[in-house]
Structure 1
């Protein structure tokens, strides 16, 4: 049985058993044996521990893997002046796909009107953290203390530091070659560790999803069905139509092969709801399954996990229209353009962790004068949607990596077209 099939079985079993446990807990008393077994012992005990350990084992690899892979990629560039063009193409594609994503979301939300007829009643409200000024966002890209940046997981700062180290190694002659070989060895070791951890994926996925559905169940889905369907439809259009069309148009490579090879990565992203935690899995798939050279993959994938938030942008677009309709407020064309621009800028430097989309949504709502308290209405279903949009985010990271690699002649097309290449059984 392949790893993909094992993960799918684990996901289905976790959703069914978790929802069943939530239903039983709703009928059980506070001191019942049933609550102790399903809630205290399993949901908030064994499975919660297993899920947290699984995510932690992935996150512990993110910073060293990104740093080592990016240093390897840059230091072995024959023409380091090409790094500027590589960066420009990658960032431009990420921003373009984010703009397309939120445009699709706004069109579908305006058409389906998920907030029409909703009685906007907020109990308690939602207080967003203060938004960081744009100049501070730009300044924070550059590290003042690289060790602190690695300890705190500030990926943009880690990327910049790795680029500088890689460029310096590439220009240091024989000492640089020795250091470069050392980084290559570390890269191989870390990739092997990713492969080993993927073998535990089905158990980690089961623990994560059982805990989630045992706590929330699926009862809240019906209350916001139209909103959820609008978000899911926009995610499917973007992930299954826009990405394949861009891939085919810009590279000529087969979208079918691409989507088949992305299944494991998408399942990982769905279960963790974190683009950052999925970086090691995405990087392995892009390099070993799709044949993208390390110098492109090591730059594009971690950068995408930081600035490419297409799924989050879709949620923000739909949620903005939903809240406006629920409050019976009209959005002008200028407001729609403001939403697109703000969502694109808000995605830059946003941490790829669960739930961060709600924080950036507050910034978007403030820019168009909508009540931030409306976020409280969608918090209940956001966790489920967060898993879906994270799967779209990582698909975009891989698509851009393949397109940029093809333009740089840095992809092994034989590996890409081989369905079995790099597949873990």
Structure 2
């Protein structure tokens, strides 16, 4: 888009669409609810590309490595990063809520509750078993991203181990060509982002109105403060030490990503934007980002575990029940395990929160109220998760530069 001969960046277009959409939702609520399907159509187009995008980007990310030892080194670095930041995220969520103590001043009068479906038990055996499919076509049809990722890893490694060099190169070029086509399709859909985001934001504000700012304000404010602290201290600290990147420069240069995640609330749908930002703003080669970012969309849930910690402490304060150190350590461990499990459960975010609260013997009724306003929190969880994927990718890229040097 150009105005007065000057090209307006897509980031600016999205930001403006988000603001205008919010205002339109507040002023013309009923009308915006009726045309909300336009935003849904755009989001469906994004989701349509998710499975092929994850499948081909992971394969090309693996086959673009020099060898399998290079892949193993990258995988080791990024997995260690994801595990460590997830543990720290839970501690931050618990600590911030303990200090602010929003549960002692919260008032739930007049807030509607929403019934949370009974949670399917998530065992360690079930979690690992569900990662591996018996039929890749069923996996693709159901859009199971975790299984798609595992299948793609198998395919990528298999290509790297093909003995015939001519066939190996042909397979590499073939998958790279299809990957280029997929990203070309993504570019087409992304150009319509301002339109889709306008209608999505308008619909959200039409549904919730001023409650997006007032209801659940104490808990939401505490949660977002914990997220900001995590982004600045943990992600920013890691990047400052390893790459010399100022935390506030990281936030500024990743604006295109977090504006997108705040409106779509989808880590997977944000993968192409994340890869683009990593390449254009931080110089990360696609051979790294096309592997680490899709992996992070299924492994890195820092925003989610911050919410688990905040909500558990919040509810304990509401009912006047204090948490001791051993219980908090148990919350940290369980959050880390549960955050990567249950990806196939419908509405898994709120269901996993229900499981966490129930596991520690706290009343689950408040989870029902949170569920009614979950969109407020989902904006933060998605944004934090994706910024974590980006920071980890930049960190690993730096590690690879040092290895090469």
1:385 and 2:370 are equivalent in the alignment: no
Report 1:311-390 matches (<5 A): 311-351=303-343, 356-390=348-382
Match in the other structure for 1:193: 185
TM superposition shift of 1:396: 0.6
Q: Is the 8 A contact 2:25 2:201 kept in 1?
A: yes
Distance 1:410-1:182 versus aligned 2 partners, 3 A rule: farther
1:44 and 2:33 are equivalent in the alignment: yes
**TM-score of the superposition, structure 1-length normalised?**
0.86
Match in the other structure for 2:4: none
Structure 1: stretches of 5+ with no match in the other structure: 23-38, 413-425
TM superposition shift of 1:178: 0.6
Match in the other structure for 1:72: 60
1:114 equivalent among 102, 112, 137: 102
1:3 and 2:10 are equivalent in the alignment: yes
Distance 1:21-1:353 versus aligned 2 partners, 3 A rule: farther
1:99 and 2:87 are equivalent in the alignment: yes
Structure 2: stretches of 5+ with no match in the other structure: 1-7
1:282 and 2:274 are equivalent in the alignment: yes
Distance 1:390-1:239 versus aligned 2 partners, 3 A rule: same
TM superposition shift of 1:407: 0.9
Question: What is the rounded CA distance, in whole Å, between the counterparts of 1:326 and 1:255 in structure 2?
Answer: 35
TM superposition shift of 1:255: 4.2
Match in the other structure for 1:142: 132
**TM-score of the superposition, structure 2-length normalised?**
0.90
Question: What is the rounded CA distance, in whole Å, between the counterparts of 1:234 and 1:355 in structure 2?
Answer: 23
TM superposition shift of 1:217: 0.8
2:76 equivalent among 88, 93, 97: 88
Q: Is the 8 A contact 1:305 1:393 kept in 2?
A: yes
Question: What is the rounded CA distance, in whole Å, between the counterparts of 2:343 and 2:257 in structure 1?
Answer: 19
1:303 and 2:292 are equivalent in the alignment: no
Q: Is the 8 A contact 1:69 1:187 kept in 2?
A: yes
TM superposition shift of 1:379: 2.5
TM superposition shift of 1:85: 2.6
Q: Is the 8 A contact 1:70 1:163 kept in 2?
A: yes
Match in the other structure for 1:159: 149
**Greater shift after overlay, 66-75 or 204-213?**
66-75
Q: Is the 8 A contact 1:19 1:214 kept in 2?
A: yes
1:219 and 2:211 are equivalent in the alignment: yes
Match in the other structure for 1:423: none
Distance 1:343-1:161 versus aligned 2 partners, 3 A rule: same
Match in the other structure for 1:129: 119
Aligned alpha-carbon RMSD (Å): 2.4
Question: What is the rounded CA distance, in whole Å, between the counterparts of 2:96 and 2:343 in structure 1?
Answer: 27
TM superposition shift of 1:410: 9.2
**Greater shift after overlay, 92-101 or 277-286?**
277-286
1:408 and 2:400 are equivalent in the alignment: yes
Question: What is the rounded CA distance, in whole Å, between the counterparts of 2:114 and 2:370 in structure 1?
Answer: 13
Question: What is the rounded CA distance, in whole Å, between the counterparts of 2:159 and 2:115 in structure 1?
Answer: 52
Question: What is the rounded CA distance, in whole Å, between the counterparts of 2:106 and 2:250 in structure 1?
Answer: 40
Q: Is the 8 A contact 1:276 1:305 kept in 2?
A: yes
Question: What is the rounded CA distance, in whole Å, between the counterparts of 1:144 and 1:336 in structure 2?
Answer: 38
Match in the other structure for 1:53: 41
Distance 1:321-1:275 versus aligned 2 partners, 3 A rule: same
TM superposition shift of 1:262: 1.4
1:177 and 2:165 are equivalent in the alignment: no
Question: What is the rounded CA distance, in whole Å, between the counterparts of 2:46 and 2:267 in structure 1?
Answer: 11
Can you list the C-alpha shifts for 1:158-209, whole angstroms capped at 9, x where unaligned? 1221111112212222111111111111122222222222211111111101
Question: What is the rounded CA distance, in whole Å, between the counterparts of 1:278 and 1:366 in structure 2?
Answer: 31
